[in-house]
Amino acid sequence: MRLDRTLTKRFPVHNVATPYMYHHIVAALFETNHYDAAVRLMKDYWGKMVDYGADTFWEAFDPNDPQASPYGSLAINSFCHAWSCTPVYLIRKYITKTYHD
Host domain of residue 74: 2-100
Length in residues, the chain: 101
Using CA atoms, how far residue 78 sits from 19, 31, 71, 95, in Å, is 12, 29, 11, 28
Q: What confidence score (pLDDT) does residue 100 get?
A: 54
Angle 76-56-68 (CA atoms, 0-180°, nearest 5)?
Answer: 40
Angstrom distance (rounded) from CA 4 to CA 2: 5
- How does residue 97 score in pLDDT terms, banded at 50, 70 and 90? low
Domain count of the fold of the chain: 1
- How does residue 99 score in pLDDT terms, banded at 50, 70 and 90? low
Q: Give mean pLDDT, residues 73-90.
A: 83
Which of 12-21, 35-44, 64-73, 90-99 is least confident? 12-21
What pLDDT digit, counting tens, does each position of 48-65 carry?
999 998 888 888 888 888
pTM for the structure as a whole? 0.80
> Residue 57 phi/psi, 5° resolution?
-100, 145
